[in-house]
Amino acid sequence: MFQLNSTITWAVAFASAAAIASALILSWLLASGWAWRLATDVPNDRSMHTKPTPRMGGWGIVPVGALAIGLAAPYLWGIAVAMLFLAIVSHVDDRRGLPARVRFAAHIIASVAVVAAYSSGLAWFWVPVFVVALAWLINLYNFMDGADGLAGGMAFFGFGGYAVAALAGPHPSIGLGWACAAIAGAAAGFLLLNFHPAKLFLGDAGSISLGFLAGAFGYWGWRHEVWPLWFPLVVFAPFIVDASVTLLRRLLRGEKFWQAHREHYYQRMVRLGVGHARTALYWYAIMLVGAVVSLSVLTSSPAIQWMSIAIWGLILFLIGAAIDVRWSRFQILTSK
């Protein structure tokens, strides 16, 4: 018990230090004017905001996260290096814009590196499956970064759930838990400046990095038996389901899935009049429930686990269906 309490104390310390460091870095960048020089988001007809806003919030999370990984879990150095690589490429995209093929190539390189590095004992035919899955998670996290407080909140609850499972689950991994706690803390520091009305946005350097970490930590935890394969998927299910359903709809209509749009469920909620702040709070509730469900059945029998997953999936489906119904009514009213 003493050892667990000590472990949790250190996790809280990592999270608190990361939150303070992230908030201080971003506050300084804003106060000094460097935030605007690094990258600025100018609104267009697909944007959910109406005024230019710095989009460099990732630089409060990425360096803090890399340092935390180095201190808490140095054996995950490869993941930290791949994250920094993606952050640099994505920052260039934030500033100047990069062709989609260049961005996707970077995502594939990072995904291949991580999956290959921890593929011992994995059947060869699973390697491309996990590479594609990780690359998709990288992109869907970026797609879901379109409303104040949303992506930062998913990072807080998602990596917070990872931390609890890694520290207090049936197969603890202390270093991984501390690293995840630090990422959650850094996201909390960012949220202080990103909750509506946002003073800055995450930017691709932040959203791509967080999506990569969500997948890489989830994959590493599964490969080292910290948690079952379904656990990361359920923890991040709110983002995975929204982005995947939206992508499928766009593909069926023959649209380019990588182009910006305003068709995600969270975007529809904002446009329906729920607003940025309440939309974020509703999503926080969904994220929290998903994390709690995942953690509560972590040690249950497979039957209980899969039943819980099915019920949670049904709940997410019903939430999406309710938004679809309201959106259809809204379109009918506004088309008259």
By the 8 A CB rule, do 273 and 292 touch? Answer: no
pLDDT tens figures, 243-273:
999 988 888 887 776 666 678 999 999 999 9
Sign of the C-alpha dihedral computed for residues 182, 183, 185 and 189 taken in this order? positive
Determine the length of the chain.
Answer: 336
Quickly list H helices, the chain: 2-32, 34-38, 58-72, 77-96, 100-117, 126-143, 150-168, 174-194, 203-223, 230-235, 237-252, 265-269, 276-296, 302-335
pLDDT, mean of residues 164-175 = 95
**Which residue positions form the known binding site?**
142, 204
pLDDT tens figures, 28-72:
999 999 999 888 877 766 666 668 889 999 999 999 999 999 999
By the 8 A CB rule, do 67 and 59 touch? Answer: no
Cα–Cα distance, 187 to 181 (Å, whole number): 10
**Which residue positions form the known binding site for Mg(2+)?**
142, 204
Q: How confident is the model at residue 108 (pLDDT cuts 50, 70, 90)?
A: very high
Residue 224 confidence (pLDDT) above 70: yes
